[in-house]
Structure 1
Amino acid sequence: METKKDLPSIVSSTWPGIAGIAALVGFGLLGLTFLKWLGIIALIFQAIKIFGAQKSKLSAPPSPEVARKSKVQDLKRALNKAQFETLTELPAAQALEQLQQNQERMTSFERTLSLKLSPNEITYGRYHDAAQQVYLAILNQLNEIATRLTNVLSIKVSEDPTDANTEASTRLLLRGQELAKVSAQLKLNESALTRMDQLTQAISEMKNQSAIGTSDLAPLLLELEDLAERAKKY
C-alpha cells in the first residue's frame, strides 16, 4: 500500500508516461501537431526509463543468501559425482551426510535459541554468531573436501603391477596425502556437529536467561570458536 512518502517517487517514475498520454489526448482534442510530437517523445522517454530499470535489476549481483544456496548446490553436485567413483565413494558419502546435518543442526539451533532468548539481546547475538561461524566453517571444509576428492580422481596411476617407476609412486603418495587430509577434515566436522548438538541441548534446558551463567554454555561456546579457528587452518 502506497503512503504519502511514496508519492514523490511514484510521480518521478511515471510522469513521462502521464505527460505523453496527456499530450496525445490534447492533440486529439485540439489538433495541435506539437502536442503529438511532445507526447511521442515523452512516451519514448518513459520506455527508456523502464528498460533501464529492468536492465539494472538483471545486472544486480545476487543476494548473499541466493549466492550461498547456489554454492551449496554446486557442492552437492561435486560430492555426488565423487560418490560414484570407487576411490572416493566413502568420503564423498560422508561429506554429503555432513552437508545435510550441518543445515539441520543450524536450523534446530536457531529455532531453539529464538525460543529462549530475544534476537535483540546481546547474549543471543554472541551464541548465534558462534554457531554461524561453525556452520560456515563446516561448509568451507566440505568445499575443500570436494576439491581434494576431485584432485584425487584427477591423479592417474598405471594399473600395471610391474610399473613401479618413481612417477607412479609419487602419484600414489599424493593420492594418499589428499585422502588423509580429507579424513582429518571429516573428523573435525564430526566434532563440530557434536558440539552444535550439545550447545542446542544446553540452550533448550535453560529455564531463563539467568541460567546462562550456571550452565555449560560458556565452555561449549569457547570450544565451538576453537573448532571454527582450527577449520580455517586447513
Structure 2
Amino acid sequence: MDEQIAQLTGKDNKKERSAKSKEASELKAAPQYVDACKVAKGSEPRSGFFVKSSAAATAKKGSPDAKAPPSELPASLEKKEKEEKKAKKTESAGLSPAEKKELEQLKKDIVERKAQLKGEGLSGGQQNKDPQVVEWVKRMTELKEKEDPGSTQQADKKKDAKKKSSAPLSSEEQKELDALRGEIEVYRQRLKTEFGYSAKDIKNDEDLLDMEKRLAALEKRLG
C-alpha cells in the first residue's frame, strides 16, 4: 500500500493519496498488524493474535507428561460392584441368629436383675436407673431397632399406628396376636411367681408394657 501511495503524485492524485494514507494509518494501528510486526521480530504479540498453542504442540508430539483421561469401568465390573453393595446392605438388615439369642437373653437378664434389686428394697424407678439395667436396656433397644428399624421411635410408632388403625389384620399379624395373648399371660405369671413382683411392679414392667401396647393395637384393628 505504501508503494501505491508513492505512485500517486501531483495535485490530481492528492485526494486519493490522502484517502490511501489514512487507510494505511488505520491498518498499521490495528491490533492484528501490531501483533504481526512483533511476531515477525520475534517478540510476544501484545493482543494475543498469531499465538501458537504450546499445549497443542506438546500433545501432538505425544509428551510423556500428558495424562490420558481415566477410562470408564467395564459394564461387567460396574454391575459386579453394584451387586456386592446390594449384598452387603442385605446382610446388615435384620438380626443374625447370635443377635436374636442375645436379645432373648437380655430380656431374661433384665427381669432377673430387677428381681434382685427388688429384693434389695429398690423401687421400680430405682431399678430402671441401675447402671447394669440401663446398659442392658440400651443394648436391647439397639437390637430391636436393628431387627425392626423405627420400632423403638415413638414418633414412628404413632405414624405407623395411624396408617394401620383401620387396616384388617394379615395372617401373620393374626398369628402374632394369638401368640402375644399367651406370652403376656406367661410373662405376667413369671414376674409374680418366679421373681416376686408386686401388682404395681408388674404393671410398670417395660417389656410387659411393650407387649400389651402391641396387643392393644392389634385388637383395635379386629373391630
Task: Name the TM tier (shorter chain).
Answer: under 0.3
Q: Which has the larger radius of gyration?
A: 2
Q: TM-score, normalised by structure 2?
A: 0.23
More helix by share: 1
Q: TM-score, normalised by structure 1?
A: 0.22
